[in-house]
């Protein structure tokens, strides 16, 4: 019998009290056994598996591994024995963390390594409204939308950006928004809107106390991020959560780190330092028990959580980069094949021209060896002396030669 992995990155798959924990991290779409499913994640996770033997659970483990409905059995057993006391957020109980994002930007990770946590946050909060300030290519925003669609939530989403760029992100043309519309509109157009506007210009479209999740990722100076936060704070409701990107960036005139250091002293918070840093501020009451567990995590628990989401997110970057390189390699191979075909065509043309050249040389030799050519070479100079150019006899000779050449198709 295959051993059942009971711990991944320090997150237990066995219940802390009795029975078995709920295991949502395994996708219900696959029919693989438990161990095989974990092995299928090895390209994303550096799994640390600990197998433990509990005599009383061996029959149960055997039946679950061989049962096609093992996951349902685990979930049903998790409800026995009353309410469980949770002490730590376990992301393995949320399959959405392992969902493949539909939209990534290869070779420019920017935000995409935070996609698993962004999707998890949507599942934990089940927000009524999500607003993003600063969208650009839409990696983060489309992750939120994908989670909303997957969970079938009644959520409205709004992305606000000028889609012109700024000194930090660089400037770009309308092609970025056009590409985002092409991806976004067919998938999320029913509940999501892209608003091309400045952040201040869009304020009038939102009532106070209506936003559940606000993601700030605009211009990154201290003054700009502070202004965005203070301007939009009244728009958040009593359960509001603010995400702030680039909390780890300290170069140029980035001021997000300084702003984050100020606000985390006032609000419950959690920060992921990887991928330029992403900070979460609970500016309202925390109604989600699992979000509370995240905010109250001790140092050891926080390290486990950060390691888990770093590995998952970095796997997205690696896959996206590999796919981009594979596409580039495929394109180069296609171009190489075209060049080879053109080269073969040119070589064929060269061979044809060489054959024509040999034929012409052969004809030239035959002409030079002919009796008529030898007679012309012998009598030609004498005829020129008898009919010199400029005389009436020379003019008459030229007319006769021109006429004969015209009849035979040769140039004069």
Residues 21 and 69 in one domain: yes
Residue 314 within a domain: yes
CB 271 within 8 A of CB 294: no
Distance CA 219, CA 133 (A): 10
Distance CA 205, CA 217 (A): 19
CB 236 within 8 A of CB 208: no
If you average pLDDT over each of 97-106, 162-171, 185-194, 319-328, which comes out highest? 185-194
- Show the domain range for 128: 98-327
CB 271 within 8 A of CB 260: yes
Residues 64 and 205 in one domain: no
pLDDT interval class at 9 (50, 70, 90): low
Lowest mean pLDDT among 39-48, 93-102, 212-221: 39-48
Q: What is the pLDDT of residues 319-337, one digit of tens each?
A: 888 888 888 889 999 999 9
SS3 268: coil
Of 20, 50, 85, the residue that ends a domain is: 85
Where residue 235 sits, what CATH number does that domain have?
3.40.50.150
First-to-final CA distance of the chain: 98
Residues 65 and 110 in one domain: no
Residue % of the chain over a pLDDT of 90: 50
Residues 52 and 157 in one domain: no
Residues 154 and 226 in one domain: yes
Residue 355 within a domain: no
Q: What is the pLDDT of residues 239-249, one digit of tens each?
A: 999 999 999 99
Residue 300 within a domain: yes
CB 143 within 8 A of CB 101: yes
Tally the C-alpha atoms within 13 A of residue 52's C-alpha that lie toward its C-beta. Answer: 10
Q: What is the pLDDT of residues 94-126, one digit of tens each?
A: 999 999 999 998 766 779 999 999 999 999 999
Distance CA 94, CA 99 (A): 10
Q: What is the pLDDT of residues 280-297, one digit of tens each?
A: 999 999 999 999 999 999
List residues bridging with 157 in a β-sheet.
130, 192
What value, to the nearest 5°, has the Cα angle with vertex 128 and ends 310 and 100? 35
Token look-up 């006391």 returns 85
Give the residue from 229, 237, 218, 239 showing the smallest Cα distance to 259.
229
Lowest mean pLDDT among 59-68, 123-132, 289-298, 303-312: 59-68
Of 303, 327, 351, the residue that ends a domain is: 327
Average pLDDT of span 162-183:
92
Which of the pair, 262 or 29, is modelled with greater confidence?
A: 262
Residues 299 and 155 in one domain: yes
- Which residues make Cβ contacts (< 8 Å) with residue 225, sequence separation at least 6? 216, 218, 219, 244, 255, 256, 259
Q: Is it the case that residue 230 has pLDDT exceeding 60?
A: yes
Residues 315 and 387 in one domain: no
Residues 155 and 258 in one domain: yes
pLDDT interval class at 14 (50, 70, 90): very low
**What is the pLDDT of the chain when averaged over all its residues?**
80
pLDDT interval class at 33 (50, 70, 90): very low
Chain centroid to CA 359 = 60
Residue 343 within a domain: no
Distance CA 177, CA 136 (A): 7
Residues 79 and 125 in one domain: no
Token look-up 């012309």 returns 376
Distance CA 106, CA 112 (A): 9
Residues 199 and 315 in one domain: yes
Distance CA 176, CA 179 (A): 5
Residues 154 and 79 in one domain: no
Residue 124 within a domain: yes
Residues 70 and 129 in one domain: no
Number of domains in the chain: 3
For 344, phi then psi, to 5°, come to -65, -40
């Amino acid at each position: 019998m295959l051993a059942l992995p009971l711990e991944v990155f320090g997150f237990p798959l066995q219940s802390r009290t009795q029975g078995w924990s709920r295991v949502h991290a395994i996708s219900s779409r696959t029919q693989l056994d438990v161990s095989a499913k974990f092995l299928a994640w090895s390209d994303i996770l550096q799994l640390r598996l600990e197998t433990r033997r509990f005599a009383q659970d061996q029959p149960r483990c055997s039946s679950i591994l061989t049962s096609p409905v093992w996951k349902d059995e685990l979930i049903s057993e998790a409800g026995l024995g009353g309410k469980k006391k949770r002490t730590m957020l376990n992301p393995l109980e949320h399959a959405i963390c392992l969902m493949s994002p539909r939209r990534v930007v290869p070779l420019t990770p920017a935000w995409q390594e935070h996609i698993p946590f962004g999707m998890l946050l949507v599942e934990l909060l089940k927000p009524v409204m999500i607003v993003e300030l600063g969208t650009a290519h839409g990696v983060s925003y489309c992750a939120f939308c994908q989670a909303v669609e997957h969970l079938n939530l009644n959520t409205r989403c709004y992305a606000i950006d000028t889609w012109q760029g700024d000194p930090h992100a660089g400037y770009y043309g309308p092609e970025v928004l056009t590409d985002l519309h092409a991806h976004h509109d067919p998938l999320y157009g029913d509940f999501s809107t892209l608003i091309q506007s400045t952040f201040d210009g869009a304020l009038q479209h939102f009532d106070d106390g209506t936003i559940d999740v606000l993601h700030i990722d605009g211009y990154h100076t201290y003054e700009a991020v502070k202004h965005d936060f203070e301007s939009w704070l009244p728009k958040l409701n009593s359960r509001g959560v603010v995400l702030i990107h680039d909390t780890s960036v300290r170069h140029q005139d980035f001021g997000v780190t300084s702003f984050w250091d100020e606000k985390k002293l006032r609000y419950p918070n959690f920060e992921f330092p990887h991928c330029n840093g992403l900070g979460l501020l609970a500016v309202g009451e925390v109604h989600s028990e699992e979000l509370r567990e995240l905010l109250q995590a001790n140092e050891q628990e926080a390290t486990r959580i950060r390691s888990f989401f770093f590995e998952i997110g970095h796997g997205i970057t690696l896959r996206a980069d590999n796919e981009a390189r594979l596409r580039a390699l495929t394109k180069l191979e296609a171009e190489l094949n075209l060049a080879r075909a053109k080269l073969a065509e040119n070589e064929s043309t060269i061979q044809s021209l060489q054959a024509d050249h040999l034929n012409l040389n052969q004809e030239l030799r035959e002409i030079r060896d002919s009796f008529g050519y030898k007679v012309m070479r012998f009598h030609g100079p004498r005829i020129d002396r008898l009919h010199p150019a400029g005389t009436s006899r020379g003019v008459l000779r030229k007319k006769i030669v021109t006429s004969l050449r015209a009849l035979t198709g040769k140039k004069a």
